Structure 1
Amino acid sequence: MTHSSHGDHVEQEIRAAAAQLGRRRFVTVTGAAAALAFATNMPGTAQAASGTYDARRITDNPFTLGVASGDPRPDSVVLWTRLAPRPFEIGGGLPRKKVQVRWEMAHDERFRRIARRGTTSAFAEFNHTVHVEPSGLDADRTYYFRFRTGDWISEVGRTRTAPSSRARISELRFGLVSCQAYHDGYFTPYKHLADEDLDAVFHLGDYLYEYAVNSVGGARNYTDRRLPAVFNRETITLEDYRLRYALYKGDPDLQAAHAAHPFIVTWDDHETENNYAGEQPENDVPPEEFLIRRAAAYRAYWENQPLRTPQRPNGADMRLYRRLPYGQLAQFDILDTRQYRSDQAYGDGWQVPGPESTDPSRTLTGATQERWLLDGWRRSRALWNVVPQQVTFAERRSTSNPDYKLSMDSWDGYPASRERVLAGAEAAGVDNLVVLTGDVHVHYAFDIKRDFAKPDSRTVGVEFVTTSIASGKDGTEKPDNWDRYMKANPHLKFYNGKRGYVTLTLDREQARADYKTVPFITKPGAPIETVASYASEAGNPGLHQV
């Protein structure tokens, strides 16, 4: 980058610390250096930005990136916004000083019945993002919220708390979304998602892409505007990632979805770099350099998502896996299958499985997260145990031939890890397992078999895979491999390659997925259509079309 900024200064500190110690123990050393450097210049430290900026001096709308909420609990929900009167500039058009922001929650959209209010600081160190965690809210209740600073008032957002842990609720309804490459088209599915009646939305990864976006917005092919050159490069530094979030969050359809529903987010690879695995980058970049990039990506991710304080990163590490109960009806165990995984076998891609991929020591979740998941299942009293995560869980053979290939980036590349999870679910008595997945830019509906090598093996759960919001451009209803996949994988019940999202309905009798698509996203204005619906009965796992 050609500019000087706080983000560059932090990264220079990391590089200097790593250089002094050389490459011996470079992963450990650089991880420590990243943690140290990204912990400096923080609120409350000696290096923090000093002073408070008078918000009355803000002459342009600072709420250009909208509002959001997330991670609902029975008595709390995270509220988010960012102050950025000039979002495509480093710093968003504000000086390196904190800005006071007032927030309000109300029972009504006109804010006549205030439920909670308060004041917080938008710190320059966090790029003037705001994370508020109001407590003492009523369970299973819709609230409206907004922010104020100076003479400016944000748009109104709508959110909803989770039911209490003992509530015997009859129904829950969620949206499932993933993979929104800005340069591949418009976020039209979000416009329709905003109109759905939902308890929350699960974002299953690839919220942004690291690839360059040219001046016409790639496939959006703008004719009435031009994007600045800062986007026409791959994201590497903290400021690169911060600016890319500003580009994405400026999209009106994404803003509408965030304003309408609380989001429960987890990342995949592109929030950092395509197909990275733990501390291993995709390409031949020294791991110590990659950890600097990962620290920057994780920092920007937390800043720009409605996440709680425990999720705030420590250098190149960030605990994103977490558990959200929804009454007695559902327990959601949100996974992180990127940060702790073993490197992909056989150099990644689609490969014939063999001793390297089937090595029992390989892991997709890491040992600590795996234990956390299985322990949580043993304690669960929920009817539905739901696992929102990133990559395809069910086996997905490329062909019916004996020399079939599997994706080394999905759970197929880590079969021992999958076996431990399925054995853990069985030992915990999980009768109604539902896996939620993104990543692959297509709709899938799978039965989860106890042994995928035996088509008549017992079905132990189901997997609903949502297609992309925009990644892959318009897509097609039946991709070229549709016939091969359907024949090679009898547990695959549905496959569609258009763009869209899924709505998931859970009740006492069944889990139902409605698969929705739009005909195009390379131009705005597409309608939405439900193209298929599949359900699994409580206590009798296995998909049937409805």
Structure 2
Amino acid sequence: MDRRQFLKWGGFVTVTAATGNLMGCSSSDSSSTSTIPGTDITAPATPAATGSGWKFPQSIASGDPRPDSILLWTRVVPASADDVLTASTDTNVSIRLIVSDADHSSKLGSNSAIDGNLVVDTTVPAYAMYDNTVRSKITNLAAGKVYFYQFIAGDVRSRVGRFKTAPAKDADVSQLKFAFMTCQDWSINHWGAFSHLVANEKDLDFFVHLGDYIYETVGEAFQKGAVEAAHGPLSLPQGAFKPNSNVRYADALVDYRYLYKKYRSDTRLQAVHERYAVIAIWDDHEFSDDAWRDTHTYDNGTFNATVGGDNTHQPQRRRNANRAWYEYMPADIWFSAGETYGVENIKIYRELQFGKLMHLIMTDERLYRADHMIPEAATNPATGQAIGAIGARYMAPETTLYGAEQQKIALTTRIGTSDPLLLVSMLGQSQRQWWMDTMKSSPATWKIWGNEVSLLRMGINGTDAIATLIALGSISTLATGIGNAAASTGHVPTAAALVAGTTAGVPQANAAAVAKALATAYAAGANSVQTLVAATASSGLPTSVLGLMAQTFLAAMQVAAGDSTAQATAGAQVIAFGYIKADIMANQAKSTFITNSGKAAALTPFFQKFLLNADQWDGYNAERKALMAHLKDNGIKNVVAITGDIHSFFAGTVNDDYQASNGGTPVMVDLVTAGISSDSFFTYLQEAVGALSADLATLVYYPLTIPVTGLGTIKLNVDLLDYSLGRAAPNAAALGEQIRVQLRGALAAAGLPEAQLDATVAAVLAGLTSSSSFGSLVGLAQQLASLNSNPWLKYVETDAQGYSVITLTPGNLSCQFRRVNKLVGTNAPANVVASVKTATVTRDVVDVKIS
């Protein structure tokens, strides 16, 4: 083999040092056999590929750019082989790899030859045992420089690739720009985001992939929606069936390899890899949904009082997933194919530095994590059945969740291990200490954390939510009652005051007398709550009740006298939110408005606080607090996480203790990107909330029917989850803008040509947002926003697909959330990006501004 090259057999990586301009000379032939260093195992012969009978079906890729090195990747097979199935087991060949520092930008995306200014010209082996993939590390490169590369098999050239090395670690860097993305399910929606990125983000330094690069299942319910015609159905070569299901999941090594090959067969994803180096970590679907270590959560596992809960362990499947990820991801990491290290035979957490400007710290939040705090197999006392995912991982009761965490910490203390967080950790002790040390010692201005699952607290106070929903539901009834009472009083505001009094428990006659006195006092010049209360104080009613009646009277009076319906509604709203909501919040299930609703049994379990997603850091609160304490205590500034997983856009501050009365002190920022194509978190939750509680569905969505000329009616479920979580209260225009993408997608699904979509959407929204019915929906969203559930959330968009782009300077970080339009028929939209929101973080300020 070439003297500049050696083979690291633990990970089949060739390493070649760039030597400057080689004038096109080729390295020596590598067809001879050799033994694996340190063993007596003979390496397969790799005769040089010759002729034209070759292809590169997954194109090429580069990864982990450092100041002096890059990891290059390809897969080469005979031209007669299937693109995604396993090639011949005896196809072991060597191919040529060339790297140039000349500008070959015009050749990107083509198979044109690159020549001249070659800094590398060598041969590399492609082994059938590694699915004909090639991983070659190039060292001795210049810092901060663009290079072009190409693989050559016989007479066949791969497409031309490009990468940029990182700046020198001590370099003063004025700007970096990179994209980050996640969650690209082949089986749902579209991959138009990749086309947009290639066409419009030409000045990226690299891109970060935060996991869910593949999805391990085929045929899940969440994968059965509309999908672009370019993505045909998947068929796992072997696979296994989920328990009690017809859904198949990747199990064998050949299954995981198939998925990477199939996903990477899409030319749009290929184009991204050809143009930019990737820095990647995994999340759960590279192995198994909501996984921890080597377990799956497809079923609830087992539970007993002594052992607790446990899910099904699948160590060989975990190792298969590890190996396939290593074979197909151009990551410069450690891996061992041997049995010695069990499922921890790969280490993907690592750090990369980009001059003095940025330190990128990538973590693994699956391989080392402990079980979820609440076991799915634990018994739900209300039903006698296993709790399952809803209750254990999603919509988990806060008190139960953190009680379980404290019990595990106490158990760890009794055991006496070196790690008090052993049973409640996401990172594991070694990685956690590495993270802390790396953060503390980093010389860079910005510490960017490549983080798989969100650090942001996402909670819902069930009591506040139920009180709001019951109050909202009472408005119509109250308004009708006010209208009926007006028939006898002859005056709607007086009737409104009367109904306010009776709602608060005042006898009818007494309420009528006070209401009449309010009208008299108002006519005499008392026009404020205070003066009206004073004028009716002799009635003997409590001041709080007189205040409610006065507020209700004034609200109705402020509406034009000729509009009795609007007057009654205005008064009803004051009663609903000024009394009914307050009474439920104070008395919870004991409130007469709950006991008289007929829904007491259904609602009682929800008078508590819930955490939306305990598979995220909310479910590993003790370790999150330890990490934030480390940053705070050591004065580590300008830490920003970039996050995926939850199929939504979020931005906000990560606080040291969200359980503190004021929500804690902001320590760092988390920026969460939506999935490239995976269905949104809102979509999942709207389908699940009915099973959880139909009475709580309004916290998540509101069904809206819109008549459209020529198309009939369009039905939408308006996303109210955003407001329940903490999105700012909207006006009509803002709420209309929020549903623009969904409306556009619905019109496209109804058959409207894309050329007509944007104009039709604008016209429909103009009419919709000016209607009185839409005004009621706006009021509903405003009331949910008033819950102020998570004040640290500065931006929420739970019904979205897209990707994000960060521009980093010494003074600030600017993150653009790019939301994409939905399918048009069976094609990705020509107009891909629907909207852009910008989150800005200023140096040394722990806050995020949205524009």
Indicate the structure (1 or 2) with the bigger Cα radius of gyration.
2
SS of the counterpart of 1:532?
A: strand
Q: Which residue of 2 aligns with 1:490?
A: 791
Partners of 1:376 and 1:340 lie apart in 2 by 18
Q: Which residue of 1 aligns with 2:347?
A: 319
Contact 1:104 1:147 in 2 (8 A): yes
Asked whether 1:256 is paired with 2:256, we answer no
Partners of 1:115 and 1:416 lie apart in 2 by 50
Partners of 2:352 and 2:427 lie apart in 1 by 18
Pairing 1:193-204 to 2, within 5 Å after superposition: 193-195=197-199, 196=201, 197-204=203-210
Deviates more, 1:182-191 or 1:455-464: 455-464
Contact 1:455 1:491 in 2 (8 A): no
Asked whether 1:356 is paired with 2:384, we answer no
Write out per-residue CA displacement over residues 431-472 of structure 1, whole angstroms, 9 at most, x where no aligned residue: 111011100001111122223234464322111001001110
Q: Which residue of 1 aligns with 2:97?
A: 103
Structure 2 letter corresponding to 1:171: Q
Change (3 A) 1:158 1:411: same
Q: Which residue of 2 aligns with 1:535?
A: 840
Q: Which residue of 2 aligns with 1:434?
A: 640
Q: Which residue of 2 aligns with 1:523?
A: 827
Partners of 1:435 and 1:399 lie apart in 2 by 26
Q: Which residue of 1 aligns with 2:130?
A: 126
SS of the counterpart of 1:345?
A: coil
Pairing 1:100-249 to 2, within 5 Å after superposition: 100-107=94-101, 108-109=103-104, 110-195=114-199, 196=201, 197-212=203-218, 219-220=226-227, 222=229, 230=237, 233-249=248-264
Partners of 1:364 and 1:229 lie apart in 2 by 30
Pairing 1:374-413 to 2, within 5 Å after superposition: 374-399=436-461, 401=463, 403-406=608-611, 407-413=613-619
Q: Which residue of 2 aligns with 1:22?
A: none
SS of the counterpart of 2:618?
A: helix
Q: Which residue of 1 aligns with 2:86?
A: 91
Deviates more, 1:76-85 or 1:328-337: 76-85
Write out per-residue CA displacement over residues 371-422 of structure 1, whole angstroms, 9 at most, x where no aligned residue: 0011112211111111101001011113464722112211000111001111
Partners of 1:287 and 1:224 lie apart in 2 by 33
Contact 1:51 1:97 in 2 (8 A): no
Partners of 2:807 and 2:229 lie apart in 1 by 37
Change (3 A) 1:312 1:177: farther
Partners of 2:662 and 2:178 lie apart in 1 by 31
Change (3 A) 1:218 1:311: farther
Partners of 1:124 and 1:252 lie apart in 2 by 24
Write out per-residue CA displacement over residues 324-356 of structure 1, whole angstroms, 9 at most, x where no aligned residue: 111111111100010111101212322112311
Partners of 1:48 and 1:235 lie apart in 2 by 31
Structure 2 letter corresponding to 1:468: G
Change (3 A) 1:48 1:253: farther
Pairing 1:258-273 to 2, within 5 Å after superposition: 258-273=273-288
Partners of 1:405 and 1:268 lie apart in 2 by 24
SS of the counterpart of 1:70?
A: strand
SS of the counterpart of 1:133?
A: strand
Q: 2:373 aligns with which of 345, 367, 371?
A: 345
Contact 1:516 1:531 in 2 (8 A): yes
Post-superposition offset of 1:264: 0.4
Contact 1:43 1:123 in 2 (8 A): no
Structure 2 letter corresponding to 1:349: R
Post-superposition offset of 1:49: 6.7
Task: Return the structure number with greater helix share.
Answer: 2
Q: Which residue of 2 aligns with 1:331?
A: 359
Post-superposition offset of 1:188: 1.2
SS of the counterpart of 2:800?
A: strand
Write out per-residue CA displacement over residues 143-188 of structure 1, whole angstroms, 9 at most, x where no aligned residue: 1111011111000111111111100101111111000110013211
Structure 2 letter corresponding to 1:371: Q
Deviates more, 1:446-455 or 1:306-315: 306-315
Partners of 1:119 and 1:144 lie apart in 2 by 17
SS of the counterpart of 2:444?
A: coil
RMSD of equivalent CA atoms: 2.7
Partners of 2:271 and 2:343 lie apart in 1 by 31
Partners of 2:834 and 2:323 lie apart in 1 by 37
Structure 1 letter corresponding to 2:828: P
Partners of 1:172 and 1:356 lie apart in 2 by 43
Write out per-residue CA displacement over residues 286-305 of structure 1, whole angstroms, 9 at most, x where no aligned residue: 97860110000000000000
Q: Give the TM-score normalised by the residue count of structure 2.
A: 0.56
Aligned residues: 502
Post-superposition offset of 1:506: 1.2
Pairing 1:20-59 to 2, within 5 Å after superposition: 50-53=44-47, 55-56=49-50, 59=53
Q: Which residue of 1 aligns with 2:651?
A: 445
Structure 2 letter corresponding to 1:118: T
Post-superposition offset of 1:259: 0.8
Q: Which residue of 2 aligns with 1:299?
A: 323
Post-superposition offset of 1:489: 0.8
Structure 2 letter corresponding to 1:219: A
Partners of 1:298 and 1:374 lie apart in 2 by 25
Q: Which residue of 2 aligns with 1:33?
A: none
Partners of 2:357 and 2:195 lie apart in 1 by 29
Pairing 1:458-497 to 2, within 5 Å after superposition: 458-472=665-679, 479-486=719-726, 487-496=788-797, 497=799
Post-superposition offset of 1:97: 3.8
- Percent identical pairs in the alignment equals 28
Write out per-residue CA displacement over residues 205-248 of structure 1, whole angstroms, 9 at most, x where no aligned residue: 1010011169x997336389776563884210000100111110
Q: Which residue of 2 aligns with 1:31?
A: none
Contact 1:462 1:541 in 2 (8 A): yes
Specify every segment of 5 or more residues in structure 1 that has no aligned partner in the other structure, as ranges: 1-41
Change (3 A) 1:213 1:155: farther
Change (3 A) 1:224 1:183: closer
Partners of 2:261 and 2:255 lie apart in 1 by 10
Partners of 1:478 and 1:169 lie apart in 2 by 44
Contact 2:179 2:204 in 1 (8 A): yes
Post-superposition offset of 1:274: 0.5
Post-superposition offset of 1:474: 11
Change (3 A) 1:228 1:279: closer
Contact 1:323 1:333 in 2 (8 A): yes
Contact 2:69 2:138 in 1 (8 A): yes
Change (3 A) 1:271 1:48: farther
Partners of 1:462 and 1:517 lie apart in 2 by 20
SS of the counterpart of 1:166?
A: coil
